[in-house]
Amino acid sequence: MRPAILDPLFAPLTSLKGIGPKLVKPFARLLDRAEPRVLDLLFHLPYSAIDRRARPKLAEVQADTIATVQVTVERHVPGRGRAPHRIIAADDTNTIEIIYFNLPRDRVEKMFPVGETRYVSGRVGLYDGRLQMVHPDRVVDEKGLADLPLVEPVYSLTEGLGAGIVRRAAQGAVARLRDLPEWFDPAFVKLRSFGPFADSLRRLHHPQEPMDVAPASGLRARLAYDELLAHQLALALVRSEMRREPGRSSRGDGRMRRAIEGAIPFSLTNAQRKAIEEITADLASDTRMLRLLQGDVGSGKTLVALLAAAAVIEAGRQAAIMAPTEILARQHHARITPLAEAAGIRLGILTGRERGPAREKLLDELAAGEIDLLVGTHALFQEGVEFHDLAFAVVDEQHRFGVHQRLALASKGPAVDLLVMTATPIPRTLVLTYFGDMDVSELREKPAGRTPIDTRTVSLERLDEVVEAVGRALAEGARAYWICPLVEESEIVDLAAAEERFQYLRARFGKKVGLVHGQMRPAERDEAMAAFAEGTTPLLVATTVIEVGVDVPEATIMVIEQAERFGLAQLHQLRGRVGRGQGRSTCLLLFKPPLGESAKRRLSKLRETDDGFLIAEEDLALRGEGEVLGTRQSGLPGFKIARPELHRDLLEAARKDAALIVSRDPTLSSERGRALRLLLHLFDRDEAVRLIEAG
């Protein structure tokens, strides 16, 4: 049960004044949550602040800065046709023009009565040597000046939400904050000069200095440590619980594994054999397994997972493989099916698309033990999904899932052994910090027969030549991906870029061009992928939805537009979608000149090597952990506030603190422990609380 003191923060956003049903959708987009809560808005921190404390005379105003000036309104010059409405205003040192486009004349004249004093705040520019302010942020009289925040927070926005709406909603959210008991060690608080949690949030939304909201500010550091400690504590509790509860030994007789190996047309790599040995030894022991399997793009992780699952199934138990997207889950299912049939493994699939009688039948078979291996999305750990005897769970692309989701899947059976997999190699220095005390297996070899990918950089100025070259390849029967630029952290804008490129290529190649993006319904996405896999649409325009796991061996060309916008690890992931079959493969990195130094280094590193582990180390050197691990792109491990590249020292401190807490107070029942339970709830690590309550 969540403590009642937190209820105001977990209330829906619509409980705030001024947020009706129409605003829910844009806020859901902004806060990346289907049903946003007051808490989500509190954690949507301002990224900068406008300083209105200085009141320069017009003669002192610097062009291209934000200024708050006191002026007297002299006259109006209404616009005709498309011309803007101009207000001429002045102080005793200079004159300024205030410009409005498409605003009714009577409204502008009411805001700026001739002869009256107004305080106007906004960005000042120079036009023909005259000071100009276009659409000021604020216009107030003497009375309104008293209410104008001297330092005003600036929030990131999304389509359908203006700055004023987000600012007012954030103030409403701050009003819900209550002081909470301190969950940090008092000596640590004193050492770091941290203020209380609620005070830090209040100050960030009501900054007193622009530096208050800076990424490296002490206020942010406090909240970053809160988040990091919640994450590390949840990991430590999971590990502690897994060690406390005895495991179950699952020893197979090898018959299914031999049948699978006999059905694959190639030999396992040495790295695959070593990983399988490590995993099956864990499964056979009576200690619960928590192992990370990290492998480079195309190193054969799925086959390792299947062979490990077979060992459990041979022992008469069940296994599950969970993937982050429906595309990936269906692909795993399709890839595993012939091997499962060869080994006599009864296979099922469960995603959001399985509904009605078919879903009920599947769930009945699962509960009766008539399905040995279930592949699916997060639908696997929903209520109502009951296994007969789940002994082994695999979480693929685990950075897309939170700790609580991994826990929920592991709780579907007694002492479930857990294998988490990632295709984004993580530098050794970071594995412990992010995954806790986890055993690690690595796949550094590529299976035999993989052809090297010819990687080239091409200026976007040569786009027509690239389109012609792709056209020639299509005419010869090739298949190609065309990845659209990551415009910003907005799927909507990325989608617009993809649709524009799709229309352009459609005009050139007609029905040979398909489109796939994250906003499509799952069935439409599958259809688009199937058409590409079959060769009906041999050119697939896509956003980064195809980044991980999509496997079409016939695809031999990868075009990545504005490659300089992508991180090194993500470029490596995208490139890994080709070179999976026998054909010679090419990856074209289209860049928009001129390139900055960092972008140059990234693109040249990608040309030099296809070793994902080397690339991960280089990415770490270039950009810090946050980008290496994809927190900007994939949410690993779901940090809202913490920036690992800025808060590295806090990360290590949080890991040590979490280990100490769990060793001294494993059920969080002390006074500090009860406060820490609040922290876990606040950062959506409440599965860890349920774990200790179930005890």
Closest by CA to 147, choosing from 260, 212, 247, 52, is: 52
HSE at residue 493, side-chain half, CA atoms within 13 A, is 11
Task: Please name every residue paired with 67 in a beta bridge, in sequence order, or none if there are none.
Answer: 122
Q: What are phi and psi of 512, to 5 degrees?
A: -75, -10
Q: Tell me: the pLDDT tens digits for 211-229?
A: 999 988 999 999 999 999 9
Sheet holding 290-295, edge to edge: 347-350, 373-376, 318-322, 390-395, 417-422, 290-295, 439-443
Q: What are phi and psi of 107, to 5 degrees?
A: -70, -40
Q: How far apart, in whole angstroms, are the C-alpha atoms of residue 577 and residue 571?
A: 10
Single-letter amino acid code for the residue at 553: P
3-state secondary structure of 360: helix
3-state secondary structure of 429: helix
pLDDT of residue 436: 62
Single-letter amino acid code for the residue at 108: V
Q: How far apart, in whole angstroms, are the C-alpha atoms of residue 306 and residue 274?
A: 15
Single-letter amino acid code for the residue at 673: G
Q: How far apart, in whole angstroms, are the C-alpha atoms of residue 248 and residue 239?
A: 16
Closest by CA to 30, choosing from 41, 19, 22, 38, is: 41
Tell me the CATH number for domain 453-609. Answer: 3.40.50.300
Task: Please name every residue paired with 74 in a beta bridge, in sequence order, or none if there are none.
Answer: none
Q: How far from 272 is each of 306, 439, 443, 694, CA to CA, in Å?
A: 12, 16, 6, 37
Q: Which residues contact 679 (CB under 8 A, 6 or more apart)?
A: 183, 226, 229, 230, 233
3-state secondary structure of 449: coil
Residue 140 parent element (H or E)? strand 138-140
Q: How far apart, in whole angstroms, are the C-alpha atoms of residue 231 and residue 436?
A: 10
Whether 206 contacts 42, CB under 8 Å: no
Extended strands (E) in 536-656: 539-542, 555-560, 585-591
pLDDT of residue 495: 61
pLDDT of residue 483: 92
Q: How far apart, in whole angstroms, are the C-alpha atoms of residue 472 and residue 470?
A: 5
pLDDT of residue 634: 32
Q: How far apart, in whole angstroms, are the C-alpha atoms of residue 112 and residue 289?
A: 71
Q: How far apart, in whole angstroms, are the C-alpha atoms of residue 651 and residue 231?
A: 10
pLDDT of residue 695: 52
Which residue reads 């023909």 in tokens?
A: 128
HSE at residue 669, side-chain half, CA atoms within 13 A, is 5
**Domain ranges (residues) in the chain:** 4-49+155-214, 53-148, 244-443, 453-609
Single-letter amino acid code for the residue at 621: A
Extended strands (E) in 20-110: 48-51, 65-77, 85-90, 95-100
Q: What are phi and psi of 481, to 5 degrees?
A: -95, 145
3-state secondary structure of 456: strand
* Structure token digits, residue 65: 């800065």
Q: Which residues of 304-343 are buried (b: 16+ CB within 10 A; e: fewer)?
A: bbbbbbbbbbbbebbbbbbbbbbbbbbbbbebbeebbeeb
Q: Tell me: the pLDDT tens digits for 537-564?
A: 999 998 876 655 567 888 999 999 989 8
Q: How far apart, in whole angstroms, are the C-alpha atoms of residue 286 and residue 247?
A: 5
**Residue 99 carries which DSSP code?**
E
Whether 178 contacts 8, CB under 8 Å: yes
Entry field: residues in the chain: 695
Domains 244-443 and 453-609 share a fold: yes
Alpha-helical (H) ranges within 285-391 are 301-314, 326-343, 356-367
Whether 647 contacts 221, CB under 8 Å: yes
Strands 453-459 and 390-395: unpaired
Closest by CA to 497, choosing from 486, 505, 508, 507, is: 486
pLDDT of residue 141: 94
Task: Indicate the CATH number of 244-443 among 3.40.50.300, 3.90.110.10, 3.40.50.970, 2.40.50.180.
Answer: 3.40.50.300
Q: Is 190 exposed, middle or buried (0-12, 13-18, 19+ CB in 10 A)?
A: exposed
Strands 290-295 and 453-459: unpaired
> Block means of pLDDT (10 residues each) for the chain, length 695 residues?
93 94 91 91 93 90 91 94 93 96 92 96 91 93 88 90 92 96 92 94 96 93 94 84 79 95 91 96 90 83 95 97 86 93 96 88 96 92 90 78 60 86 70 67 78 90 95 94 69 66 94 86 83 93 70 90 85 86 88 87 88 77 45 46 79 89 94 96 83 64
Q: How far apart, in whole angstroms, are the C-alpha atoms of residue 118 and residue 285?
A: 77
Q: Which residues contact 278 (CB under 8 A, 6 or more apart)?
A: 291, 439, 441
Confidence (pTM): 0.62
Contacts 24+ apart (CB under 8 A), 352-355: 352/326, 352/377, 352/379, 352/522, 353/326, 353/522, 353/523, 354/379
* Structure token digits, residue 431: 């594995």
Residue 639 parent element (H or E)? none
Closest by CA to 415, choosing from 247, 187, 535, is: 247
* Structure token digits, residue 98: 């205030």
Domain made up of 53-148: CATH architecture: Beta Barrel (2.40)
pLDDT of residue 433: 59
Q: How far from 391 is each of 242, 343, 373, CA to CA, in Å?
A: 13, 19, 11
3-state secondary structure of 582: coil
